[in-house]
Amino acid sequence: MERLQKVIAAYGYTSRRKAEELIKKQKVMVNGKIVTELGSKVSEHDIISIDGVIINKDVKHEYYILNKPRRVISSATDEAGRITVVDLIDTDARIYPIGRLDYDTTGLILLTNDGEFANTLMHPSMEIEKTYMAKIDKILTKEDILALKKGITVDKRKVEIRHFKVKKKDLEKGTSIVEITIIEGRNHIVKKIFKELGINVLKLSRVSYGFLDIKNLKSGEYRNLTIKEIKKLYASAKK
Ligand code: URA
């Protein structure tokens, strides 16, 4: 069971905040009855309608993996009119990204119109490993590497770093390319980890998400997830 406004947003109908307004305006019905309470919970079997139109009937679920380019926003719509990850995918379904990558971050992002799938993957208990390649403005010292391997505290919460490796060093420019694997999904988390050590991330790309990677996708390219991949992602959630 999930909160009604969250489910409406998960179907891609509108944002959670706007869904709350619609509920307050008594425009939302669940199983034919007007709902006025914001905290109401619904299940996937409940029929939700807005202004008399059912929003969750015959929804065919779609699942995509995209290699997000830079200067693309990770949301379904953008008030500033910037290109979104959804704009890059040729579908009429109301899909949205699962989690976020920053505007200037590239790499692997999943999109779907399946709210249950998205919520499952984003749940912290899932512990999906995400690997990033980062270009940073420092040649790391032994102490830096030790600190990273121990885990860095960001906003009073320790980030578990599952794997860390320096891949390249440019001694002249004083920059390095590093690979870092975390299970966290907090916004800007990789940049914040390095910020704690006084280091700036110059470039960032997510190269893998669990068992998925983007080796076969060029920037801006996408494909459907296979049934096998979807099942495998769900299976890792049930553990
Ligand atoms: N961490 C960041 O700092 N940015 C991203 O886009 C993803 C993870």
| Active-site option among 78, 102, 137, 213 | 102
Q: Closest Cα to residue 104, out of 193, 191, 230?
A: 191
DSSP single-letter state for residue 102: -
The preferred substitution site among 190, 200, 209 for testing ligand 1, maximizing ligand atoms within 8 Å of CB, is 190
Ligand 1 mean position, distance from CA 104 (Å): 9
In terms of CATH architecture, what is 63-125+212-237? 2-Layer Sandwich (3.30)
Quote the crossing angle between the two packed helices 115-122 and 227-237, to the nearest 10°: 50
Site residues for ligand 1, CB cut-off 6 Å: 101-102, 105, 188-191, 204
Q: How many helices (H) and strands (E) does the chain have?
A: 6, 17
Ligand 1 mean position, distance from CA 86 (Å): 19
Structure tokens at 52: 């008399």
Residues of the chain with CATH 3.30.70.580: 63-125+212-237
Residues of the chain with CATH 3.30.2350.10: 130-209
CB 104 within 8 A of CB 204: yes
Whole-model pTM above 0.85?
no
Residues of the chain with CATH 3.10.290.10: 2-54
pLDDT in tens, the chain (239 residues): 889 998 888 777 888 899 999 999 999 999 889 998 888 999 877 889 999 888 877 778 999 999 999 999 999 888 889 999 999 999 988 899 999 999 999 999 999 988 888 988 988 888 899 999 999 999 999 999 999 999 999 999 999 999 999 999 999 999 999 999 999 889 999 999 999 999 999 999 999 999 999 999 999 999 999 999 999 998 876 55
CA angle, 30 then 94 then 55, to 5°:
20
* Cβ-proximal residues to 154 (8 Å cutoff; 6+ apart), any chain: 186, 189, 192, 193, 196
